[in-house]
Structure 1
Amino acid sequence: MPTIRPRVGYLALGGTIASIPDEPGAPSRPGLGAAQIAAAVPGLTDVADVAGEDLLQVSSARVTMPDLLRVAARARELVDGGADGVVVSQGTDSLEESAFLLDLVWDRPEPLVLTGAMRGASVVGADGPANLLASVRTAVSPQSRDLGVLVVLGDELHAARSVRKAHTSSPAAFVSWPGPVGWVVEDRVRVAQRPHRRPALRLPDAVEDVPPVALVTATLGDDGRLLGALPDLGYRGAVIAAFGGGHVHTSWLDPLRALVGRMPVVLASRTGAGEVLSRTYGYSGGEVELLEMGLVRAGALVPLQARLLLQAALLAETDVAQAFSTHAGGELR
C-alpha cells in the first residue's frame, strides 16, 4: 500500500531565496518562482507533497500589510482544504515584521512557517534549499501544531514574537530572546519550549488602505519637535521608541500631551529586549509620568511590533489599550 505523504502549501513572495543575477557578476534580484525554488531542494518530495504558488516576486522592503493579509487568507484556504501546514518564503529584511503580523491573525492549529535565505540562489553556499527543507519538515511535524507562526532558518525554530534579524549579511543573522523554541536535527523537529498563544486579531482578508502609524525614536538631545507635525502629516497613531524602560527628555512632554489628545500613542523601548516599565521611575519624563499622561504601554513588544499592532488595532476598529493588554506579552510556557 503506498505511503500517503503530508501536504504542504508553499507561498513564495520573492526575496534573496528567489534571487539570481541577470548575468554573471551582476547584482541579484528576485527571479525564481516557487516551483524553481522547490525543485532545487534535494529530498523535498520525500518529506511532503509541496504545492507551490507565487503570490509576489519582490524584495521584502516592498512587502505591505495588505500583502500579508492576503498571505494569511490564502494560508487559511490551504489548511482548510487539507494541507498539513503552510510555508511562506520571503526576503529577510522585513521577515520579523511579517512573522509578527501573521502571528497576530493566524487562528489555525496548523503550522504557518516563514523562511528565507541570506545568500542568493546562485551563490556558493546558498542557504535557501536547506531552509526550505527544514521549514517543510517543521510544517508537517505534529510538534509544531498550536505554536502560531514560526520562523525557520539555519535549522532553528524561532517564535514569531521574539525573532530578530541581527546582522545585515551573516548566514546566522537571526536570533531570538531567550533563544530558539526548537530546532531540526537528524531530519526531525524538536520543540523545547512552546510560545503562549493569544486570541487571533480579526482583520479583513483584503484591504487597500492601512491606518498610517509613525514610529519616533528618542535620541540623545532630540527635543521632540517632530511629534507636533504628525497629525498634519495624516498619521492616525504613533509609537514612541523611548530610552531604556520607557523614558524621554522633558522637552518631549508638552508635544506628547498634545499628541495624546489627538491620536493613540504607544510607549515602547528602543533597547530591543525586556519590557516597558510601569512603576519604577518617577522623575519627569519617566515611564510613570508618561503612562499617567495616557500613553499605552507596549509591554514586551519592540517598537516595530508595537507599530504593527497599533495599525492592526486601528484597522480592526478595536480598543487600542485592550489590544495591547491582550497581545503585548512575550511569555513562553
Structure 2
Amino acid sequence: MAYEGYLKDFLELSNITVGDTVKITKPNVEHEGMLLEKPDYSNENTIIIKLDSGYNIGVDIQDAKIEKIREGSKPKIELDPVDKELSDEKDNVSILSTGGTVASVIDYKTGAVHPAFTADDLLRATPELVDYANINAKAIFNILSEDMTKEYWIKTAEEVYNEINNGADGVIIAHGTDTMHYTASALSFMIDTPVPIVLTGAQRSSDRPSSDAFTNLMSSVTAAKSDIAEVTICMHGTEDDTYCDLHRGTRARKMHTSRRDTFTSINMNPLAKIQNNKLTINDSEVSYTKRNENKLDINTDLADNVALIKSYPGMNPEIIDIYVDKGYDGLVIEGTGLGHCSDDVITSIGRATDEKIPVVITSQCIFGRTNLNVYSSGRRLLHHKVIPVSDMLSETAYTKLLWAAGQTDDMEEIRKIMQTNLKGEMDTTLSQNYFIKN
C-alpha cells in the first residue's frame, strides 16, 4: 500500500518519492537506502528502504531525521532487446523458464522478490549468453518452486522433449531452488535424452550485488554444450564465484537455506566442475551417459498419489492408515538410521502392503544406505514386503515411485523398478544378497 496520513504528508513536503535514495538518522544509528512502498502489514510509523546490500529493512521514523540523498526512479522491468544473431558454428541451447529467484524481479511496492521475468527477459538481462550459443528462450510457466506439482513436471518434460526434438543441442531449465532436486529427479525418470538437460537457479536475486544468477546461468550453458547427456543441476560449488558444480539430477540435494553453494551431491562426487566456461570431469571412474548414447524418448505416466512420510519418535500409526484408507498408490517411509520404524508403525505398514500399496523404505540420514537385515525391526519390515532402495535419496525415491506406480500396479514389477538403477540414483555395487533377501 502507499504511504498514508502524516507519513504521506511528510514525504510530499520533503519532496521524497518511492525510488529516491534517503538517509535516515536516529540516535546512535544511521541508515541509507532506496525508499520502497509499504507492504500492507507494516507498522504505520515505519518506512521501508532497500540497502545497498540488497536487503530490505523497516525503520521506525519516530525521533528520526530523513533527508533525500538523490533522485531515483523505479527501474524498468522492460530491458533493451538483445541481438540474437544465429551462427552455424554455435550450439543451439534452449532456456525454459519456470520461475524462481533466477528469473525474478523486485516488487517495488513491497520490496519482495517475485518470479516476474519471462525467459526472454532472462536472456536480455544476461546478454553474454548469446556469445556462447544460439539461445532460444521461452517461459513455460511462472511459479515459485514450492508451488510445483507433478502436472508441472509433466508439462516441463513435454516442453523439453519438444525442444530436443526440434534440434536443441542442450536444454537449460531456470527453476526455483527449493524443489529443484525433485524436478531434476522426476525429469530423469520421464525422459531418455541424447543431449544435456541442465536445471539451474539462484539463491540470491539479480537485484542484489551477491546474486549468483549470472555465474550459474553462464556455467549452465557450458554444461548444456557438454558431453554429459543426463538431467543435471548446475549451481555454485563455493560461496564465492570461483566455480559451479554439476550434480546428477537423482543424487543432488539442497542442503542450506541461503548459501550459494547449497546443492551437494549425496553419496557421490559432483559429475563435473565448471570454471571460466570450461568443464572438467571430477572422477574418471564414474560413468555417465554421453551425448547421443540414448535415443530421445518420453514417458510421463505418473501415479495419482504417492506420499513421503518421515518416521519420528511417538509417531501415530494412524498417519499410515489415513493414506491406506484414501487409496494412495504408494508410500515412501523415511525411516531412522538404517531404515527403521516403531513396532506400531510397522503394523500399519503391513496393512498397507496387504492392501497392495507398495511401501519404499529410505533413511533420514543424508549419507549411507538402508539395511533392513541388521535389526529386528528391519527384518519385521522385510516380512511385510517393504522395498528398501540402498542409498537412494528420499526425494528421489518419492519421484521414482510416482513414476514406477504410473507404469504398473503389479507389486513385484514396482519392486523390480525401484530396485533397478535406472538413472544413477542408487549404488548397485552391493552384494546381490541385499536385493535377493529384500
Q: Does residue 300 of structure 1 match 2:391?
A: yes
Residue type of the partner of 1:248? C
Q: Give 2:320's match in structure 1, choosing from 220, 224, 227.
A: 227
Structure 2 residue aligned with 1:316: 407
Could you tell me which runs of 5 or more consecutive residues in structure 1 were left unpaired when the two chains were aligned. Answer: none
CA–CA separation in structure 1 for the residues paired with 2:428 and 2:313? 34
CA–CA separation in structure 2 for the residues paired with 1:195 and 1:104? 18
Q: Does residue 105 of structure 1 match 2:190?
A: yes
Note the C-alpha offset of 1:269: 0.9
Residue type of the partner of 2:353? V
Residue type of the partner of 2:361? L
Structure 1 residue aligned with 2:248: 159
Note the C-alpha offset of 1:231: 2.1
- After superposition, the Cα gap between the structure-2 partners of 1:332 and 1:216, relative to the gap in structure 1 and judged at 3 Å, is closer
Q: Give 2:271's match in structure 1, choosing from 174, 178, 181.
A: 181
- After superposition, the Cα gap between the structure-2 partners of 1:225 and 1:195, relative to the gap in structure 1 and judged at 3 Å, is farther
Note the C-alpha offset of 1:232: 2.3
CA–CA separation in structure 2 for the residues paired with 1:83 and 1:156? 23
CA–CA separation in structure 2 for the residues paired with 1:219 and 1:29? 35
1:50-129 counterparts in 2 under 5 A? 50-129=135-214
Q: Does residue 4 of structure 1 match 2:89?
A: yes
CA–CA separation in structure 2 for the residues paired with 1:230 and 1:164? 26
| Number of equivalent positions | 324
Q: Does residue 247 of structure 1 match 2:340?
A: yes
- Normalised to the residue count of structure 1, the TM-score between the two structures is 0.90
CA–CA separation in structure 2 for the residues paired with 1:98 and 1:316? 19
CA–CA separation in structure 2 for the residues paired with 1:199 and 1:257? 39
Residue type of the partner of 1:38? L
Residue type of the partner of 1:330? M
- Normalised to the residue count of structure 2, the TM-score between the two structures is 0.69
Identity fraction in percent: 25
Structure 2 residue aligned with 1:271: 365
Q: SS of the residue aligned with 1:326?
A: coil
CA–CA separation in structure 2 for the residues paired with 1:210 and 1:29? 31
8 A Cα contact 2:421 2:428, kept in partner: no
Which one is further off, 17-26 or 7-16?
17-26
Structure with the larger RCO, 1 or 2 (CA within 8 Å, 6+ apart): 1
- After superposition, the Cα gap between the structure-2 partners of 1:332 and 1:165, relative to the gap in structure 1 and judged at 3 Å, is farther
CA–CA separation in structure 1 for the residues paired with 2:384 and 2:326? 23
Q: Does residue 290 of structure 1 match 2:384?
A: no
CA–CA separation in structure 1 for the residues paired with 2:349 and 2:184? 30
Describe the superposition over 1:271-315 as per-residue Cα deviations: whole angstroms up to 9, x where unpaired.
12222114222x2x2x22212211111222122221211111111
Which one is further off, 72-81 or 238-247?
72-81
CA–CA separation in structure 1 for the residues paired with 2:428 and 2:400? 19
8 A Cα contact 2:390 2:427, kept in partner: no
Residue type of the partner of 2:259? S
Note the C-alpha offset of 1:82: 1.8
Q: SS of the residue aligned with 2:152?
A: helix
Describe the superposition over 1:17-42 as per-residue Cα deviations: whole angstroms up to 9, x where unpaired.
11222206611110001111122225
Residue type of the partner of 1:221? G
Describe the superposition over 1:145-187 as per-residue Cα deviations: whole angstroms up to 9, x where unpaired.
x3x1111011111111211101111112111123321111232
Residue type of the partner of 1:290? L
Q: Give 1:168's match in structure 2, choosing from 257, 280, 289.
A: 257
CA–CA separation in structure 2 for the residues paired with 1:25 and 1:121? 17
Q: Give 2:215's match in structure 1, choosing from 130, 141, 144.
A: 130
Q: Give 1:190's match in structure 2, choosing from 276, 280, 300.
A: 280
- After superposition, the Cα gap between the structure-2 partners of 1:317 and 1:199, relative to the gap in structure 1 and judged at 3 Å, is farther
Structure 2 residue aligned with 1:29: 114
Higher helix fraction (1 or 2)? 1
8 A Cα contact 1:203 1:315, kept in partner: no
Structure 2 residue aligned with 1:261: 354
Residue type of the partner of 1:116? G
Note the C-alpha offset of 1:60: 0.4
Which one is further off, 182-191 or 53-62?
182-191
- After superposition, the Cα gap between the structure-2 partners of 1:131 and 1:246, relative to the gap in structure 1 and judged at 3 Å, is same
CA–CA separation in structure 2 for the residues paired with 1:269 and 1:289? 16
CA–CA separation in structure 2 for the residues paired with 1:22 and 1:34? 18
CA–CA separation in structure 2 for the residues paired with 1:176 and 1:304? 13
Note the C-alpha offset of 1:204: 4.5
8 A Cα contact 1:6 1:140, kept in partner: yes
Q: SS of the residue aligned with 1:113?
A: strand
Q: Does residue 330 of structure 1 match 2:426?
A: yes
Instruction: Name the larger-Rg structure.
Output: 2
Q: Does residue 216 of structure 1 match 2:312?
A: no
8 A Cα contact 1:159 1:195, kept in partner: no
CA–CA separation in structure 2 for the residues paired with 1:100 and 1:275? 18
8 A Cα contact 1:100 1:305, kept in partner: yes
Structure 1 residue aligned with 2:224: 139
Could you tell me which runs of 5 or more consecutive residues in structure 2 were left unpaired when the two chains were aligned. Answer: 1-86, 237-243, 430-438
8 A Cα contact 2:346 2:380, kept in partner: no
CA–CA separation in structure 2 for the residues paired with 1:20 and 1:310? 36
Aligned-pair Cα RMSD in Å: 2.5
Note the C-alpha offset of 1:59: 0.1
